[in-house]
């Protein structure tokens, strides 16, 4: 059956993806690296400077950081890991290295390792508000709500306009069973940014989890008005259609969601399994295989097992 999770904390919506392709010296390249903290950095100002702050040392670290990004861009993500470890070993307070390293680990489907990297940064004294917010986001996504909440509350108190942190706080509140507070947080985002698709999607997910299907449909439709490509909204509408007994319409929504965002594993799982349930195993096969191949095991182990069982029954 299609899964009906109330809240989604997909990290691409938080801007928490790894380093992307870049062209040397281009404005786009600079913007991407700035978003990573690479160009401007985000470490707090130091009271005392030592030999490790010598420009010659920093040039070498800069080269290593570029090397790690280049390995990522070539698809050699595992090879980038020891480079990041070496950078952090040489300069334990280099926040950008921790941030990029954690993002890489998360993208590899290793949430525990990503969280450990950010915890190491805090212990090393390299934790700005933004890094602590990222840790809170990762913890919320991993279900570590008790630890996530104070970090995210701290972040949103420091910057009441940080909609990414507010969204993560809403998700953490929802997972803690504090649905009214979660909804209030998402509504607060919409007051700051009336076109914020994430907030609409998450309010729709809350309504769906509470069985308020008409409200959920209205909120997901509103999200699609703001962003016609919203995979989360299509996924939610698919669940609503399935609950109403309209599997065909549900499958259509999930197909649109997966076509627009192959990394939306909720929609991918729903699509694959409901095609099987609809008696269309050959149509389901590529989606089943895609899910088994690409879904992060640390987050979707049980689902991957079910998908592999389905493939086995089909005579993979």
Q: What is the pLDDT of residue 58?
A: 65
Residue 298 inside a domain? The answer is yes
In-domain check, residue 314:
yes
pLDDT confidence of residue 21 = 31
Does a structural domain hold residue 14?
no
Alpha-carbon distance of 34 to 31, in angstroms, equals: 5
Mean pLDDT over 18-41 rounds to: 34
In a domain, residue 245? The reply is: yes
pLDDT, tens digit (0-9, with 9 covering 90-100), for 241-293: 999 999 999 999 999 999 999 989 999 999 999 999 999 999 999 999 999 99
Domain that holds residue 238: 232-316
Residue 8 has pLDDT above 60, yes or no: no
Residue with the bigger pLDDT between 225 and 26: it is: 225
Q: What is the pLDDT of residues 181-201, one digit of tens each?
A: 999 999 999 999 999 999 999
Q: What is the C-alpha to C-alpha distance for residues 156 and 297, in angstroms, rounded to an integer?
A: 31
278 domain-assigned: yes
Give the count of beta carbons closer than 10 Å to the beta carbon of residue 235.
32
Mean pLDDT (the chain, rounded): 81
Could you read off the pLDDT of 72-113 as tens digits, one per residue? 888 899 999 999 999 999 999 899 999 999 999 988 889 999
Residue 5 inside a domain? The answer is no
Is residue 273 domain-resident? yes
**What's the whole-model pTM score?**
0.70
CATH number at residue 313: 1.25.40.10
| pLDDT of residue 157 exceeding 90 | no
Task: Tell me, letter by letter, the H, E, C secondary structure of 44-62.
Answer: CCCCCCCHHHCHHHHHHHH
- Most confident by average pLDDT, 31-40, 113-122, 147-156: 113-122
| 54, 57, 62, 68 alpha-carbon torsion, rounded to 10° | -150
User: Does residue 42 surpass a pLDDT of 80?
Assistant: no
Q: What tokens appear for 195 in the block? A: 């076109």
Q: Pull the structure tokens for residue 292.
A: 């088994």
pLDDT greater than 60 at residue 41: no
Distance of CA 88 to the CA centre of its chain: 24
Structural domain count, the chain = 1
Considering the domain boundaries, does residue 76 fall inside one? Answer: no
The pair of structure tokens assigned to 192 is: 């700051």
d(CA 105, CA 18): 9
């Amino acid at each position: 059956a299609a899964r009906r999770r109330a809240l989604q904390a997909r990290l691409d919506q938080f801007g928490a993806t790894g380093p992307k392709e870049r062209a040397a010296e281009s404005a786009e390249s600079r913007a991407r690296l700035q978003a990573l903290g690479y160009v401007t950095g985000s470490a707090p100002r130091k009271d005392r400077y030592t030999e490790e702050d010598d420009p010659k040392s920093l040039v070498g670290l800069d080269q290593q950081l570029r090397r790690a990004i280049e390995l990522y861009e070539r698809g050699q993500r595992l090879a980038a890991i020891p480079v990041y470890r070496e950078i952090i070993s040489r300069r334990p307070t280099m926040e950008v290295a921790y941030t990029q390293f954690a993002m890489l680990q998360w993208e590899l489907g290793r949430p525990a390792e990503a969280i450990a990297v950010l915890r190491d940064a805090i212990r090393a004294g390299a934790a700005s508000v933004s890094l602590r917010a990222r840790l809170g986001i990762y913890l919320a996504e991993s279900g570590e709500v008790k630890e996530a909440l104070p970090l995210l509350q701290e972040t949103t108190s420091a910057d009441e306009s940080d909609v990414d942190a507010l969204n993560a706080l809403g998700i953490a509140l929802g997972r803690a069973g504090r649905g009214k507070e979660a909804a209030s947080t998402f509504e607060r985002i919409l007051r700051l940014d009336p076109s914020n698709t994430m907030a609409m999607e998450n309010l729709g997910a809350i309504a769906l989890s509470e069985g308020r299907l008409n409200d959920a449909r209205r909120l997901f439709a509103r999200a699609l008005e703001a962003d016609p490509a919203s995979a989360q909204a299509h996924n939610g509408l698919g669940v609503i259609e399935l609950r109403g007994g309209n599997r065909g319409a549900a499958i259509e929504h999930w197909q649109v969601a997966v076509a627009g965002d192959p990394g939306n594993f909720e929609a991918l799982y729903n699509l694959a399994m409901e095609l099987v349930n609809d008696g269309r195993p050959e149509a389901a096969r590529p989606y089943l295989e895609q899910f088994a191949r690409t879904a992060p095991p640390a987050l979707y182990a049980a689902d991957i097992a079910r998908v592999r069982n389905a493939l086995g029954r089909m005579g993979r």
